[in-house]
Amino acid sequence: MEIKSVAVLGAGEMGHGIAQVFAQAGFDVRLMDKYPEALERAKQRIQESLTKLSERGRIKKEEAQIAYARIVFTQSVEQAVSGVQLVIEAVPEKLEIKSAVLKHADKFAPKDAVFASNTSNIRITTLARVTSRAERFVGLHFFNPPVIMKLVEVTPADTTDPSIVDEMVELCKKIGKTPVRLKKDSPGFIVNRINAADMLFFCLVLDKGVAKPEEVDSYIRSQGLPMGPYELLDFVGLDIAHDSLLYLSQELSEDYSKCKTIKELYEKGALGKKSGRGFYDWSSGKPSIPSAKPTDKLTLLDIFAIEINEAVKLIEEGVATPEDIETAVKLGMNRPFGPISVAKSFTSLEVRQKLEELSQKFECKVFYPTRSIREGKLREVIEGRVEGAQKSSQKVYVEKKGKVAKLLINKPPLNTIDSEVLDALEKSLEELSHDKEIRVLLVTGAGDTFSAGAELSQFFRNSVEFSSFARKGERVFRRLSELPFLTVAFVKKYALGGALELALWCDLRLATPESQMGFPEVTLGLIPAWSGTQRLARLIGVSRASELILTGKRISAKQAYEWGLVNALVEDEASVIKFAEELAQKLAPISVMLAKTLLNKGTEAPSDIGLELEAMAAGLLFSTEDLKEGISAFLQKRQPEFRGV
């Protein structure tokens, strides 16, 4: 079924934003709310949003006008859902309200229409049961503001037809969002499951008198975050926080009901920004936060441990993969890293001890370490190696055809390189080094990009850890020069920073004409740290290496070819494979191995030692069967058949 028209039930903060997203993507939209003032406010907010996008050059003025014209505003559920292919419920986060609206809409919507809920916490299965289409019901959890935030959590009910989930995933991509598909229904899904544990922690900090809101917010801001937890709770609304904790206390753990401070503020009507008062005074439209020194009663490990614990629970329960959890938290909470990448910087023991401490201190079972952490299997579970956990897709994989192998970095969209990719590269290169059949290895990226370089959002605990990361990259990349066969980097689109350093360690570099290369590190306050400062100068000379590294500029593949950085320009991957296959047929493997050693090791030694090594290598080759075969084939004017002996 092709979805062309969408009904959005509820014109509040989320509803009108979702309606705008679909309208901008070319869908006919009906936005329904029973309150006329809500519809008027939605009209105004959508117009203001489209105008801003137009003024900033994000969309053309006429596109904004067309998008607004696609939206029909109505107070009638029947009018909204009649004839549409998709109904999205976005009413307040109250089970009874959502159930009533869904039941009513179910009566008038086409039988084949898909129903979705934008709930942020409630089980999708519970909502699906109030309709007559439980197999066509799915969770589509957008994030606020929907026009800006990319994430949509796509959650099936226990009864949902998998094909409907597939359809919704593709629909999210069509409207410009990044869908994360949950494996099964779970309250809070991914982001709010993790966020709720944080929220409980920060509430108990106040309940126990550990620190004041302004002291904690000051500490969090001192760590580089733009907003502290209490300011954020005020901004989102303490009614939403209260309802979320209440629901999760019924569905996950009664510990979520222990939060007294938020409950007291909620009962007083102090809901944060929307009411003018919450943890702080918002009467001026902005929070009046008392000046305070950062508290020393909390550490980042307190927060990280709690989030890692919840992430591991989701993996153990089969709700989501480590990769999807990382993506969801980064996009949904607007962070540079998620709990999975953070967990890689800590041991099971460190996390377990911190969680046991927090659980005891706050008398809260939610913080108690989950099974995998207690058993010392944190690394295994976040890498998808624990029984019952879903494995992440391969970040690096090898394809082999005859004597040519292809090593691909697979981390879309830009194939950036982080610790996980380095680990996978190291493992793959070790395995390839023992393959006696390979004559040529092509190194490239999956999709249309070689690689945009190192993953800059990766979390590091300190400078020592970052230095170790640099050494690891140097060690892994150098392995390419030590392989006993020819290595060829195929650069397409981008080879920036660490990616270019990877290419530098290959024996040859081929590139498409439109590709770009460069070292942007100095424009970021860094330096090339995976051997770029050393390797580049040896290949193209100090002067040109200085120009490339010290200016941070990018150069075209054509200029890289003229500088000798690229060996040849090629049109496409088919040309590269043909080039590799032709080389694989005519190269003597032992000759290649020894020649590589002389080029990479001999040039680092004094010239007399290098010459001696060269003579010894020639002597070794004189005794090989391949030399005899090469000479015979030359005299007989035929293709040699080298066997590597």
d(CA 29, CA 83): 11
| Angle at CA of residue 490, ends 485 and 492, nearest 5° | 170
Specify whether the CB–CB gap between 301 and 308 falls below 8 A: no
Within 10 angstroms of residue 635's Cβ, the number of other Cβ atoms is 8
Paired with 494 in beta bridges are 516
Using DSSP's 3-state secondary structure scheme, residue 112 falls into coil
Q: Which of 464, 453, 455, 545 is nearest to 503 (CA)?
A: 453
Alpha helices in 30-161 (DSSP H): 36-55, 61-69, 77-81, 95-108, 124-128
**Nearest 5°: phi and psi at 517?**
-135, 155
Give 347's Cβ-side CA count (13 Å radius): 4
Task: Please confirm, yes or no, whether 521 is among the known catalytic residues.
Answer: yes
In sequence order, which residues have a C-beta less than 8 Å from that of residue 52 and are 6 or more positions away?
none
Q: Which of 6, 14, 20 is nearest to 66 (CA)?
A: 20
d(CA 40, CA 44): 6
Instruction: Choose the catalytic residue: 521, 562, 612, 614.
Output: 521
> Helix, strand, coil: what percent of the chain each, to 5?
50, 15, 35
Q: Which of 91, 110, 82 is nearest to 16 (CA)?
A: 91
Q: Which of 482, 480, 520, 533 is nearest to 503 (CA)?
A: 480
- CA distances for 339 relative to 43, 215, 431, 447, angstroms: 38, 24, 30, 27
d(CA 417, CA 412): 11
Give per-residue burial for 55-89: e unless 16+ CB within 10 Å, then b.
eeeebeeeebeebbebbebbeebeebbeebbbbbb
d(CA 428, CA 368): 37
- CA distances for 631 relative to 117, 584, 588, 590, angstroms: 74, 18, 11, 15
Instruction: Choose the catalytic residue: 2, 317, 501, 547.
Output: 501
Type and span of the H or E element at 178? strand 178-181
173: tokens are 């991509």
Give per-residue burial for 514-542: e unless 16+ CB within 10 Å, then b.
ebbbbbbbeeeebebbbbbbebbbeebee
Specify whether the CB–CB gap between 327 and 455 falls below 8 A: no
d(CA 406, CA 85): 44
Within 10 angstroms of residue 592's Cβ, the number of other Cβ atoms is 20
Angle formed by the axes of helices 607-622 and 625-636, nearest 10°: 70
d(CA 409, CA 358): 40
Specify whether the CB–CB gap between 593 and 557 falls below 8 A: no
Paired with 131 in beta bridges are none
Q: Which of 307, 134, 126, 289 is nearest to 216 (CA)?
A: 289
> Which residue numbers are catalytic?
501, 521
